[in-house]
Structure 1
Amino acid sequence: MTTTSPTPDTATPPRTSFAWRGLFLRLHFYAGVFVAPFILIASLTGVLYALTPQLESWVYADQLRVPVSAQQLPLAKQVDAALATSPQGTLVAVRPAPEPGDTTRVLFAEEGLGESERRAVFVDPGTGKITGDLVVYGTSGVLPLRTTLDQLHRNLMLGEPGRLYSELAASWLWVVALGGLVLWITRPRNSKRIRRHGLIGVWVLAGALFLSATGLTWSAYAGENVATLRKTMGWTTPSLKMPGASSDHGDHSDHGSSGSGHRDVDSVLGAARASGIDAKPIEIGLPTTSDGVWKVAEIGRGWPTQVDAVAIQNGSVVSSVKFTDYPLAAKLTRWGIDAHMGVLFGWPNQLLLLLLGGGLVALVVLGYRMWWKRRPTRGFGRPTPRGQWRKAPPVALVGLGVGAVLVGWFVPLLGVSLVLFLVIDALLGLRAKQKAAS
């Protein structure tokens, strides 16, 4: 039995005479074919990352959990216990046990570790027993399993060159998503393949736009433009002023050089609590200069967000920064990043990311399936022909071109890859004309 495709004029007329449908269809098709692998990888690794908090608690239970004790040792004694293991690095910070049954983390800067990595020695706050040591990453203090999945999602564990993959995925995701929305609105009435693909696309649209926007804040090139825009508009996150810290080194220079050592850690914690630092998870940073200024910061990324910080010198608060005083844009940035990581609302946030990531994977798979079934060798015709831009009004076309240039400048990988698509398409068109002429 021979299957024939319907003619454009009879079986499946579009719901609207939108003149640009062909242009959007061509862009969506080629962007989907060439960029979808990057989106697929980013979605799969993102789903894996969303699963890690509970898995991490299980894998590292020996380091993280201890029997609940009626009394706890002074924090300084817990630090002494960690120092007694003769760690190779320099003591830089302490994270007191946030809940009964949790361990205290004593953090060391150590040569040979990567950027934002520290060595954590885990201490039983009731007995001073050492339960292990692990390399932790970032302000969240994630453990090796989640660090590996984070790097896999961020750069495929290829370092800075690998970041291009995730930036390319984030750069095109919103374009593909909005283009798909246009195609869904102007779709033919009777196409089950388009209906399945389109319905999933509509359901994940808002999430896809969110992931694209927040993902670009971490990117190498667009991220710099985002940072510049935030600085220009006054949307940057306020930083804690550390008296005595140099402008070149901030609070990361000469860790542990203060003569007070760690002996004052309990009094510093008491002063911080009295000043309003009331989050359970906190980090106490040791003095970084001879001025003896400590930094105590909340590290609660859930809801409500607790990221207040104070600088303490000689038992008194000398500066502070509170989340309630952040500009709205800085708050939105904080919430967006934490929601992207799946920590803002706990397990509901994780579940939403799992559904969103699964939806994006399904979109890519269904999209490739549609392309495979409609490829030219199956007799369903070729992709939308070139020259669709001629159907658009000239004024609107100029506006679209200017917009594309501006967006391409702000999101460089999008601009470069779009130009590459256009050049390749033009060369293929020239080749086809020469072949037809011969």
Structure 2
Amino acid sequence: MSLTELSGTPTPEPSPAAGPPAQPTRRASPLGALLLRLHFYAGILVAPFLVVAALTGLAYTVAPQLDGALYGDQLTVGAHGDRPLPLADQIVAARAAHPAGSIATVVPGDDDRTTRVAFSLPELGEKVHTVYVDPYTGEVRGQLTTWFGSTPATTWLDDLHRNLHLGVVGRHYSELAASWLWVLALGGLVLWWRRRSASRSTARHLFVPNLSTARGVRRTRGWHATTGVWLVVGLLFLSVTGLTWSRYAGANFGAGLDALDARSPEISTSLTAGPTENGGGHQHGDAPADGVVDPAAFDRVLTAARTADLSGPVEMTPPQEPGAAWIVTQIDNTWPVAKDRVAVDPAGATITARSDFADWPLLAKLSGLGTQAHMGVLFGPVNQILLAALALGLLCVVVWGYRMWWQRRPTRADRRALAGTAPARGGVRGLPLWTALIGVPVAVAVGWAIPLLGLSLLAFLIVDVLVGAASRRRRPAATPVSPAPAGR
């Protein structure tokens, strides 16, 4: 929301006693004027969504510590010198505490972590009922309704950040914020560079605002611009990774991955000789029609997975129908991540299929790593601190942008206003033809890939044209002014 002056009115000649002549005001180029006007309007109108996203994202960065404070008894156990109990005994204890539902997943506990036994119930939808068991004593430490491994508190914060607890309708706010964030960041970077180049700033003031001479709106603009420059890489990262799982742009991103065959590879669970993934028929498997799984099968499957070098925390998923293999997946999302998967036939404890993270397509790797970094788990506490700093920095940039708008308001008695006026129009008319030939197709393509950006940009343009037409109709015709009498 940099409010660079566009006025090209020449300054009056200074008197001899007034010191060295002032530098003439530099008239903005048509492209710079257009970019400034776009940056201004987008900042004013989209900034509220960015504020909400930054505040809710800031809250989400403390989710791991909040989980520890609220659910420490369920998630962790004290140090033990004993070996963990067989998984079968832990699952029997979990089933005794919660007889309803079928086992969806099991995450074996080790060291100071409890074993998580998740039961699926039709009324819970995507959520599951998780029973936490002490792996050394078999004691049930608690039960929670979880969502993809997230506790109720983390799930609540995630929904707040993602959709403000408004469901599908609420997802539009976060997608709109992510859609414009990269535009504002890159546009602000270009405006900052043009202004710095024009003013021939020293190397030191390229990244630090010049507070020695700047006052008022210039000082605010200095803080706004330089802080934005420091944050630009992080803001671009948040925008891109946020869009990958948004509703509309995320769907287009997924379609692109499919077209490039760049998704994480599926792993076959078939125990038959045929190519079908889910298998069926007369083969082994431990998923009878009633959905009850033999608890002893978990120990056999875990032993097979450990023998196949799946170390660290893993998630075990029993088949939901007979004749299918079990899936064991590494779930260590901290760097270096471990996401290898194997399919296991529990009858013979043999590996029937394998998918290693090292073999994933590059885009699938980047997408997965970006998601974990966006959620603040890839680099642990350092990741959380960086995300919190980005959120606080973005809030400051927005506040300084609005402050500039207020500082540029007319203050004369006959022209008082609550805020400053928008940068002048006319940038589009002055653009060379080649910029339109390139810019329009690019804008259309980006608008198609990021629909909320395209629709909101079109709305901005329509409103701007209508406001401009209305202001021209209200403008009184110019009255000729007689020249001043000679000698005066």
Equivalent residue in structure 2 for 1:66, among 77, 96, 99: 77
Quick check: 2:108–2:313 contact (8 Å CA) kept in 1? Answer: yes
Tell me how far 1:17 sits from its aligned partner.
5.8
In the other structure, the counterpart of 2:240 is 213
Residues 47-68 of structure 1, C-alpha deviation per residue, up to 9 Å, x if partnerless? 1111111221121111112233
**Per-residue deviation, 1:378:** 5.1
Q: Which residue of 1 aligns with 2:144?
A: 134
1:24-423 alignment, distance < 5 Å: 24-69=35-80, 70-97=82-109, 99-115=110-126, 117-138=127-148, 141-187=149-195, 189=199, 191-243=218-270, 257=289, 261-278=294-311, 280-313=312-345, 314=347, 315-376=349-410, 377=416, 382-423=421-462
Do the aligned partners of residues 146 and 16 (structure 1) sit closer, same or farther apart at CA in structure 2, a change above 3 Å counting?
A: farther
Return the alpha-carbon distance in structure 2 between the equivalents of residues 359 and 349 of structure 1: 15
Q: For the residues of structure 2 that align with 1:242 and 1:16, how far apart are their CA atoms? A: 67
Secondary structure of 1:164 counterpart: helix
**Would you say the 8 A contact 1:79–1:106 is kept in 2?**
yes
- Give, in angstroms, the shift of residue 311 of structure 1: 0.6
What amino acid sits opposite 1:162 in the alignment? G
Between the aligned partners of 2:344 and 2:241, the Cα distance in structure 1 is: 33
Max radius of gyration: which structure?
2
Q: Deviations over 1:201-251 (max 9, x none)?
A: 000100111111110011111111101111111211112111169989899
CA contact (8 A) 1:89 1:110 kept: yes
Change (3 A) 1:12 1:221: farther
Structure 1's 381 and 124: CA in aligned 2 closer, same or farther, altered over 3 A? Answer: closer
Q: Size of the alignment, in residue pairs?
A: 427
Q: Distance in 2 between matches of 1:336 and 1:12?
A: 47
Q: Distance in 2 between matches of 1:276 and 1:174?
A: 41
Would the alpha carbon gap of residues 16 and 122 (structure 1) be closer, same or farther in structure 2, given more than 3 Å must change?
A: farther
**Conservation of the 8 A alpha-carbon contact between 1:259 and 1:292:** no
After superposition, the Cα gap between the structure-2 partners of 1:310 and 1:430, relative to the gap in structure 1 and judged at 3 Å, is same
CA RMSD of aligned residues (A): 2.5
Alignment partner, residue 17 of structure 2: none
Any stretches of 5+ residues in structure 1 without a counterpart?
Answer: none
Classify the secondary structure of the residue corresponding to 2:342.
Answer: strand
Alignment partners' CA distance in 1, 2:255 and 2:451: 14
Q: Cα gap change, 1:13/1:422 in structure 2, threshold over 3 Å: closer, same or farther?
A: farther
State whether residues 91 and 255 of structure 1, in contact with CA within 8 Å, keep that contact through their aligned partners in structure 2.
no
| Contact 1:262 1:286 survives alignment (8 Å) | no
The alignment partner of 2:106 has SS state of strand
Instruction: Give percent identity, aligned residues only.
Output: 44
Cα deviation 1:343-387 (Å, max 9, x = unaligned):
111111111101111111111111111111213435996221222
2:203 aligned partner: none
- Which amino acid counterpart does residue 303 of structure 2 have in structure 1? G
What is the distance in 1 between the residues matched to 2:431 and 2:129? 59
Q: Deviation per CA, 1:277-315, whole angstroms, max 9, x where unpaired? A: 11x211111122111521111011111110111110121
8 Å contact from structure 1 (residues 283, 299) kept in 2: yes
Residues 269 and 278 in structure 2, CA contact (< 8 A), matched pair in contact too:
no
Question: How far apart in 2 are the matches of 1:330 and 1:145?
Answer: 29
CA contact (8 A) 1:16 1:186 kept: no
Partner of 1:427: 466
**Would the alpha carbon gap of residues 134 and 249 (structure 1) be closer, same or farther in structure 2, given more than 3 Å must change?**
farther
TM-score (norm 2): 0.82
Q: Which amino acid aligns with 1:136?
A: T
* Counterpart-to-counterpart distance in 1, 2:242 and 2:231: 16
2-side partners of 1:304 and 1:405: how far apart? 39
Letter in 2 for 1:149: L
8 Å CA contact 2:267, 2:342 repeated in 1: yes
- What is the Cα deviation at residue 261 of structure 1? 2.4
1:260–1:292 contact (8 Å) kept in structure 2: no
**Judging changes above 3 Å, is the alpha-carbon distance between structure 1 residues 23 and 152 closer, same or farther for their aligned structure 2 residues?**
same
Deviations 1:188-211 (A, max 9, x none): 746222111000100010011111
Alpha-carbon contact 2:341-2:355 (below 8 Å) kept? yes
Q: Is the 8 A contact 2:6 2:28 kept in 1?
A: no
User: Structure 2: any 5+ residue segments left out of the alignment?
Assistant: 12-21, 200-213, 281-285, 411-415, 478-488
Counterparts in 2 of 1:226 and 1:249: CA distance versus 1, 3 Å: farther
Q: CA deviation at 1:86?
A: 3.2
Change (3 A) 1:290 1:198: same
SS at match of 1:39: helix
Q: Quick check: 2:87–2:295 contact (8 Å CA) kept in 1?
A: no
Q: Is the 8 A contact 2:342 2:351 kept in 1?
A: yes
Q: Distance in 2 between matches of 1:243 and 1:12?
A: 77
